[in-house]
Amino acid sequence: MFESTQPGKPRPQSVMWHRRELDAILSVYGRLVAQGEFKDYAIDGLKDCAVFSIYRRTSEMPLYTIVKTPAEANRQGQYKVVAMGGQILKRGQDLKQVLRVFDKKRFSVIE
């Protein structure tokens, strides 16, 4: 649970995605890549959250970020999908339910 960089000073590990979570995310991502909506992604494990960023082009800001914040699990749910402007599109405890936001036709990429 803890990594140690110096003797006597444990450092907490970063939050990261589990295999089942990545399977669900990559399933949605792969479908939208096949439709030409998305082109690239990035995965980050931070101290308090894990982030999966989705890009239209590699050089741009992410269109969407899927965030896992375990500290919010008992409040509003540990998973959320955030749009480029910072708007939270969907939040909840069940990742597959949160990812359903990508099934809706109202979200389309504007060039």
Where do we find the tokens 């003797």?
A: 7
Task: Please report, to the nearest 10 degrees, the dihedral formed by the alpha carbons of residues 111, 41, 17, 12 taken in order.
Answer: -110
DSSP assignment, residue 34?
H
The pTM for the full model equals: 0.80
pLDDT tens per residue, range 37-77: 889 999 999 899 999 999 987 677 899 999 999 988 888 88
> pLDDT-derived band of residue 9, with 50, 70 and 90 as boundaries?
low
Per-domain residue ranges of the chain: 12-101
Span 24-45, average pLDDT: 92
For residue 34, how many other CB atoms are within 10 A of its CB?
9
